[in-house]
Amino acid sequence: METLKFYINGEWVEPNQAQTLEVINPATEQSCGRIALGNEQDVNAAVAAAKAAFPAFSQTSREERIALLEKILTGLAARKDDLAEAITAEMGAPAWLSKMAQSAMGAAHFNETLQLLKDYEFESNRGSTRLRKEPIGVCALITPWNWPLNQIACKVAPALAAGCTMVLKPSEIAPFDAAIFTEVLHEAGVPAGVFNMVNGDGPGVGAPLSSHPDVDMVSFTGSTRAGRLISKAAADDIKRVSLELGGKSANIILPTANLEKAVSKGVQSMMMNSGQSCNAPSRMLVPAEKHAEAVEIAKQTAEGLAVNDPHAEGVYLGPVSSDVQFEKIQGLIQKGIDEGAELVVGGTGKPEGLDQGYYVKPTVFANANNQMTIAREEIFGPVLTMIPYASVEEAVDIANDTPYGLSGYVYGETVEEAAGIANQLRTGNVHLNGSGADTKGPFGGYKQSGNGREWGEFGLEEFLEVKAVFGANS
C-alpha cells in the first residue's frame, strides 16, 4: 500500500517535498507500505482549497447534502473489506474486529448523521428573533490510529452535513484506511476543495494546521499531551477547539452485581482492541469482601483470551500498534510490579511463541490503590488494575479521583441502581450493566479528557455557529 500524493482541491497532487515514511505492520514488524509526509506548504494549499470552496458549499441545500451522504454510504459499503484489511495491516486489530467494529463504525456514523440531517432544525424562532445554525467554516480534523476510520467518520460526516469544508490529517501510523476513505468521497462526488487530506506527523502537518489563520475550527482526537499543544497553537486566532483526549475510566462493580458476569465482561471490554481505546474500563473497583473471588474470575477470563496474529482463528488480541507503544506499556507494567501491585496474570515480555510483532500479554493487577502509577496514567494497552473498596461511597470517590473524565462503567443488580451511581460520576459517558456505545448519544469527556462532543446531534452542533436575527419575526 502506498499513498504518495495528497488529496487537495478534488485531485491527488504531488507533495511539496520528497520525504516519505514507512508504515510498519505491528504483527510482522515489517513495512506494509509508504506515505508521503506533508509540510506547511502542503497545509497552506489544502486550507486555501477549503477556504475557496466554503462560500458555495456552505449554501448548499439540506437535500444536496443528504444525497451526498447517501452516495458516501454506498461507497463505504462497497469498500468495507478493503477498509478492514487496511486497518488490520496498519494498526493490528484482529480481522474480525476490523470488519465488525473498526470498519463498520465508519458507516454507522455516516448513517446516524444522515438520519439526523433529514429532520434537523437549522432555523427556529424565539419570540421576534430567528435563530440560525450555520456552518462554522474551514475545519482541521486530526485523527488517531487506534480507531482510525471511526474517528475520521465521526468528524467528516457532521462537518459535511453542517456545510463545512475541511482538511483531514490522519495518523501517520494508520494512514491507509484514510486513503481508501478519500477515494470513496472522491467517487461520491464531494465538490472540489470541500474535503482535503494531507498525510504527515504532528510537527510537520498538525502544528501548522492547528495554527493556520484561515482555519476556523480544530477537531482533534488523541493524547491529552497533544491536545494541550493544539489548544495553544489555536489560541492566537480564537479558533473553536474540540478535543477528545485520554481516559482512565473506572468500572464500579457494586456489591449487588452478578460478580461472574460483571468481572468477566469488564476484563473482555478492557482487553478489546488490545486495550487501545481511550474509554477502556482500565480501573476495576470491586467490594473488598469480594476482591479475592473477583481476582480469580479476572485471572481465568484473561487467560482465556487468545493473543495471536490478527488473521488467526479465535484471536481476541492482536499486537499493539507500534514499537513505541509496546515499550511504553512494558515500562508501565514494570512500574506496577515495582510499586507493589499484585501481578495476577501477564506481565512484561511477549506472549510465549510470539517473538515477532508487538504483542503484549493480557495483564491483570490486583490489590492496587488509586495512587499507584498504573491507576493514574493511561497505559493504552491490555492492562487492568483492580482496586478494592470498602463502601460504595468510597468507590465513587476513587472513580472521580483522576485528572480524566471520559467514560465510566457501573454494574449493579438493576439498571436503576447502576444509574443512581452513574449520576455521581464526573465523566462524559457511563455504561450501565455492560451496555455498549450508542451513536445517537454524545461522546466526549470532562476535565483533561477534553471538551466538546462527537456523535449524533451534539457532534453535528460542534460544527455549527448560532446566529440571532433580531426582529425577523416582528
Give the catalytic positions in this structure: 244
**Rounded to an integer, what is the distance from CA 449 to the centroid of its chain?**
12
| Local structure of 196: helix, strand or coil | strand
Q: What are the cell numbers at 48?
A: 486555501
CB environment 312-337: b (16+ within 10 A), e (fewer) = eeebbbbbbbbeebbebbbebbeebe
Q: Are 267 and 384 in contact (CB under 8 A)?
A: yes
409 vs 432: CA distance, rounded Å = 6
217 vs 166: CA distance, rounded Å = 9
- Residue 457, classified by CB atoms within 10 Å of its CB into exposed (0-12), middle (13-18) or buried (19+), is middle
Residue with C-alpha cell 489548544?
Answer: 231
- Those residues with Cβ within 8 angstroms of residue 194's Cβ, 6 or more apart along the chain or in another chain: 50, 53, 57, 160, 165, 166
Residue with C-alpha cell 475520521?
Answer: 152
Alpha-carbon separation of residue 385 from 223, 245, 257, 343, 430 (angstroms): 20, 20, 19, 10, 19
φ/ψ (deg, to 5) at 133: -105, 115
Q: What are the cell numbers at 474?
A: 416582528
| Local structure of 146: helix, strand or coil | coil
Q: What are the cell numbers at 138?
A: 474551514
Q: Greatest CA span in the chain, whole angstroms?
A: 76
Q: Are 97 and 85 in contact (CB under 8 A)?
A: no
189 vs 179: CA distance, rounded Å = 16
Alpha-carbon separation of residue 239 from 138, 297, 446, 448, 463 (angstroms): 10, 48, 20, 19, 12
Q: Are 136 and 160 in contact (CB under 8 A)?
A: no
Q: Are 136 and 164 in contact (CB under 8 A)?
A: yes
User: Comparing C-alpha atoms, which of 16, 17, 97, 9 is closest to residue 49?
Assistant: 9
